Amino acid sequence: MTTVREIRTWDADRPIAMLTAYDATTAALVERAGVDLILVGDSVANVRLGHDSTLPVDQAAMEHHVAAVARGVESVPVIADMPFLSIGADRGDSVEHCGRMLKEAGADAVKIESGPHTVDLTERLVQLGIPVMAHLGLTPQRVKELGGYRQQGQSDEDAAEIRDLAVAHADAGAFAVVLEHVPSDLAREVTERIDVPTIGIGAGPHTTGQVLVVDDAVGLSDEQPPFAEAFGDLRAEFEDALDGYVEAVQSGAFPPGED
Ligand code: KIV
Ligand code: NA
């Protein structure tokens, strides 16, 4: 079974497959499907908790979901997404919050929406034994500052900044770098430049691996980003089952009569 350390030096002749999970049941199914990594994303805010951004989900809520996922898996590495403001405000608190994901919630690594402010933190965390996955390109926790969920790295200047930050985080010890919603050429360039894997979402086919939100992958989401693909239609199945239940109870067909 893959470890975070093996991900860092990924040399298998195939892409890395990562999916999110937010609860033990889904995590077990995702593990059985053969993914290499499971991310407990703060996307839980949008896809399961009814929020319209990831900003409202906090450290305690994420620990709760990470712990559930960790209970659901046997051996696939579980990565805890660090929520808005859980890192960055204060160094001690940042380290404490990341450490709790391993110590209390049972994660194997943390993912941090990265920027110039997270290079030193990444180095410190890795020194302390907390593996870090960096995240560049579209970083949804900065939606208010970015003014929306647009593709990042379109200008030469923005592309260079993302590339330089990817190099800086790889040098700081990050074991992988998520690239979200960036041009495919930039993703290819970053992938060639750093010696740890890139994991893309909306970043084209040239990254070392891919990640999707599990609800998008199974066709459960109400709406999903244009770059996601549904590999099933779970929403229709869910609706059929629920309609069937309600109809059976209301018509008296369930439970069956005793005779
Ligand atoms: O929260 C999340 O699901 C993520 C992935 C889309 C990378 O950060
Ligand atoms: Na996230």
Q: Ligand 1: which atom is nearest the Cα of residue 178?
A: 7
What is the fold of 4-232?
A: TIM Barrel (3.20.20)
Is residue 246's pLDDT more than 70? yes
Is residue 259's pLDDT more than 90? no
Q: Which value, in Å, is the radius of gyration of the alpha carbons in the chain?
A: 19
Q: What is the mean pLDDT of residues 238-254?
A: 98
pLDDT of residue 141: 98
| 244/227: higher pLDDT | 244
Q: What is the mean pLDDT of residues 68-75?
A: 98
Q: Ligand 1: which atom is nearest the Cα of residue 199?
A: 7
Is residue 38's pLDDT more than 70? yes
Residue tagged 């997404």 (tokens): 81
For ligand 2, the distance from its centroid to the CA atom of residue 43, given in whole angstroms, is 5
pLDDT of residue 225: 86
For ligand 1, the distance from its centroid to the CA atom of residue 161, given in whole angstroms, is 21
Active site residue 180: yes
Is residue 77's pLDDT more than 80? yes
Distance CA 47, CA 216 (A): 9
* Atom 3 (ligand 1) nearest CA: 41
Distance CA 213, CA 205 (A): 17
Residue-range domain boundaries for the chain: 4-232
Query: Cβ neighbours of residue 82 under 8 Å, at least 6 residues apart?
Result: 42, 62, 97, 98, 101, 110, 111, 112, 113
Q: What is the mean pLDDT of residues 108-124?
A: 98
213 pocket-lining for ligand 1 (C-beta < 6 Å) = yes
Q: Quick: pLDDT tens for 166-208.
A: 999 999 999 999 999 999 999 999 999 999 999 999 999 999 9
Numbered residues of the known binding site for 3-methyl-2-oxobutanoate: 42-43, 81, 111
Tell whether omega for the bond before 255 is within 30 degrees of 0, i.e. cis: yes
Which residues, listed in sequence order, are joined to residue 19 by a DSSP beta bridge? 38, 212
How would you label 165-188 residue by residue, b for 16+ Cβ within 10 Å and e otherwise? bbebbbebbbbbbbbbbbbeebbb
For ligand 2, the distance from its centroid to the CA atom of residue 252, given in whole angstroms, is 45
pLDDT of residue 222: 86
Numbered residues of the known binding site for Mg(2+): 42, 81, 113
Q: Ligand 1: which atom is nearest the Cα of residue 211?
A: 7
As a whole number, the mean pLDDT across the chain is 97
Band the pLDDT of 2: cuts 50, 70, 90.
confident
For the whole model, what pTM was predicted?
Answer: 0.97
Per-residue CA distances from 122 to 158, 175, 186 (Å): 22, 10, 23
Is residue 85's pLDDT more than 80? yes
* Atom 2 (ligand 1) nearest CA: 41
Band the pLDDT of 1: cuts 50, 70, 90.
low
Catalytic residue among 63, 180, 237, 247: 180
Numbered residues of the known binding site: 42-43, 81, 111, 113
